[in-house]
Structure 1
Amino acid sequence: MAAKYELKKTRNDKFVFNLVATNGQVVLTSEMYESKASALNGIESVRKNGPDDARYGRLSAKDGSPYFTLKAGNGQVIGQSQMYSGAKARDGGIAAVQGNAADAVLDDQTL
């Protein structure tokens, strides 16, 4: 399976996308966007910033679960990962985004 961006419309008429890795796992979930155009711009921002290791925040939740965020050049968070079982798994998620962000296809599920 090829990596893909799944663009969806939420129940409250906002837009969100997930980056799905080649193994079928969601590795990055975007913020909510008011418009489809804004969500598409968010995808382009992931394509641009995803390969850059300096754009990742390696964080831990209150319960200690590791996760990461991806930030744009202006410091705004573009997307966030799921919670991982350990730092090694989180770093594998980052590697999946870095390896797939630029070339993943768009699966527009809003049509």
Structure 2
Amino acid sequence: MGSFVISKRKNGEFQFVLKAGNGQVILASEGYTTKAACENGIESVKKNSQDDKRFDRLEAKNGKPYFNLKATNGQIIGNSEMYESVAARENGIASVAKNAPDADVKEDLE
């Protein structure tokens, strides 16, 4: 089972990552000014990850595939790592869709 982990950046912003059951980070958020906004971002991932049209499949300048997850308003709510292949990226998207809806939320604010 996956989990969202909320942490605090050095600049004081909050961010979250979604980890798969094996502990691998499969989605990372932008920085949020408040914890409440960060929690709203998590809820948005839970909802939007169930709509395949919300995943933008992209390619970095170095040719590596990655994806962004967007909210209904078009704002990016999370992005993936760089993958070695398109198939690996698709597995990452499937993992986000599978893990996000029921993932618990943990905090690592130390």
Say yes or no: TM over 0.5.
yes
Aligned equivalents of 2:90 and 2:98: distance in 1? Answer: 12
Paired position in structure 1 for 2:23? 24
User: Aligned letter for 2:19?
Assistant: V
1:57 maps to 2:61: no
Aligned residue pairs: how many?
110
Runs of 4 or more above 2 Å deviation: none
User: Residue 95 of structure 2 aligns to a residue in which SS?
Assistant: helix
Paired position in structure 1 for 2:70? 71
Paired position in structure 2 for 1:33? 32
Aligned equivalents of 2:47 and 2:107: distance in 1? Answer: 19
Aligned equivalents of 1:63 and 1:10: distance in 2? Answer: 27
User: Aligned letter for 2:36?
Assistant: A
User: Aligned letter for 2:22?
Assistant: N
Normalising by structure 2, we get a TM-score of 0.97
Identity of aligned residues (%): 51
1:90 maps to 2:52: no
Deviation at 1:51, TM superposition (A): 1.2
Aligned equivalents of 1:88 and 1:23: distance in 2? Answer: 19
> Which residues of structure 1 form unaligned runs of 5+?
none
> Which residues of structure 2 form unaligned runs of 5+?
none
